[in-house]
Chain A
Amino acid sequence: MCLAIPGKLIEISRDAHGVMMGRANFGGIVKQVCLEYTPEAVTGDYVLVHVGFALSKVDEEQAAQTYKALEQLQQLGELDIPDVDDADAKQFFDSTSAAATP
């Protein structure tokens, strides 16, 4: 019910009653969107649309930042090398060296 999806704004206009409307492209499907709540949106912006109303512009910079952070998490996970300052790591190395000692 609270489903809202991002669409790319391809046209902005006003209807016969002066309501700010537009058309947004959702992966190939184009639908009418009311833009009264996102007066700052311009053609080419992505807007989050719920039951025919744009509720927010999608902040491209924030989206890129979040995704970059998640990708870094991925890289860190791949490296999976414990920090030498890390107490667990210290314990790991200690126990390893202890095990190596006859």
Chain B
Amino acid sequence: MKYLDEYRNEAVAQKIVDEIRRTVTRPWVLMEVCGGQTHSIVKYGIDRLLPSEIELVHGPGCPVCVTSLEMIDKAHAIAQRPDVIFCSFGDMLRVPGSKDDLLILKSRGADVRVVYSPIDCLKIARANPDKRIVFFAIGFETTAPSNAMSVWQAKQQGIKNFSVLVSHVLVPPSIASILQSPLNRVQGFLGPGHVCTVMGYEEYEPLAERFRVPIVITGFEPIDILEGTLMTIRQLEAGRHEVENQYPRVVTRQGNRVAQDLVNKVFEVCDRKWRGVGSIPKSGYKLRYEFRDHDAEKIFEVKEIDTQEPANCISGLVLRGVKKPHDCACFGNICTPEHPLGATMVSAEGACAAYYAYGRHLEVEQQPAEAAGA
């Protein structure tokens, strides 16, 4: 496919790797922000092509992973109502709440449906006037315009039986939170290319300046990630800390103003709790008051939920780049994609699930045997 295949060219990838080898002189820790980038890195083994001086740690950019347990439990409570058709992106179905997941609820008779686009929920709402259609509106800035449009159109078209359960998160406050942590090791970032397609990258410039870290807005294909890595390493080696754009074929500095305008009409910034991380000030979106008739949190009064995370899950540390999946004693044995303990094992973009999907749990099992044989 055009604009995909050429960015997977092995010969070009090798040349960039060679250039990275020529450039690097000492150890550096880089974080790729987005879960889609993590998936590509593990799928193509990009981290293993890089010289040993460069360590890639995986960031918090998987919205499925960081949706708070309270919000998941709230979704489950709403989905179980007999008057509700609960719609969601497919990757939320197996995210464990305190008790169940959406797939289990569906097997017990709840009307849970997977949609490709939030706008499809409006068709379901029109076709089912006696039901209340609730969409689980999660995501980063990339998804906010789509969710905003579904709410905007529902209001314009007078579709009263459609609401959204909003758990939107924002990237820049999470980067600031990572950099402020005493545990932080990250020295440079591969920025989230599709978030910046919508938002542009102006808001990353104060972060790069304040924390003196290079941030290179990067795409998702292997060549993109390697070039983003090269650009970040060049900055680090030269002592620079700027925002650069590796992904100009879709990202501009100002982003998509039309999309930003509608997002700002529908949503406002709020504090948001991140699963495994905790509350981060001004790190999310909630619906504006004018759209309260489409706000599932206001429509369905869900009483206080007592949530419980498994004590032995380290997904919070994985999400902040402090630990890697194989640092966890549960990884690949009691925690698998079939029976995930924590959110980073659930979504294909979670670091633990990506490591598992590409067989890295097998290497963990092999290591003691090799050591014994040596």
Contact = CB atoms under 8 A, between A and B. Distances in A.
Interface of A: 1-6, 8, 17, 19, 26-27, 31, 34, 36-39, 46, 48, 50-53, 55-60, 62-63, 65-67, 70-71, 73-74, 77-78
A1 B347 contact: yes
Contacts of B4: 5-6, 27
5 contacts: A55-B197, A55-B259, A65-B248, A73-B15, A78-B15
Which of A1, A46, A52, A57 has most B Cβ within 10 Å?
A1
Contacts of B36: 1-3
A63 B249 contact: yes
A55 B142 contact: yes
Interface in B53-83: 61-64
A52 B116 contact: yes
Contacts of B138: 1
B332 interface: no
A56 B258 contact: no
Contact of B250 (A8, A37, A39, A59): A59
Contacts of A65: 248
Given A71-B12, A73-B19, A4 B89 contact: no
Given A52-B117, A73-B19, A34 B91 contact: no
B6 A37 contact: no
| Nearest 9 pairs of A and B residues by beta carbon | A52-B117, A27-B1, A63-B249, A6-B3, A2-B142, A74-B15, A77-B15, A62-B248, A37-B259
Contacts, number: 135
B89 A77 contact: no
Nearest to B259: A37
Nearest to A69: B227
Contacts of B61: 2
Contacts of B118: 51-52
A77 to B, nearest CB: 4
Interface in B81-118: 89, 91, 116-118
A55 to B, nearest CB: 5
A93 to B, nearest CB: 18
A1 B35 contact: yes
Contact of B195 (A2, A31, A74): A2
Interface stretch (B143-151, B178-186, B235-243, B289-297): B143-151
Nearest to A70: B12
A46 B2 contact: yes
A2 B249 contact: no
B16 to A, nearest CB: 7
Given A48-B250, A73-B15, A53 B192 contact: no
A66 B12 CA distance: 12
A51 B142 CA distance: 10
A8 B2 CA distance: 9
A93 B145 CA distance: 58
Contact of A2 (B1, B19, B34, B116): B34
A66 B91 contact: no
A66 B3 CA distance: 11
A10 to B, nearest CB: 13
Given A2-B61, A6-B2, A26-B1, A37 B249 contact: no
Contacts of A5: 1, 4
A10 B117 CA distance: 20
A55 B192 CA distance: 14
A55 B2 contact: no
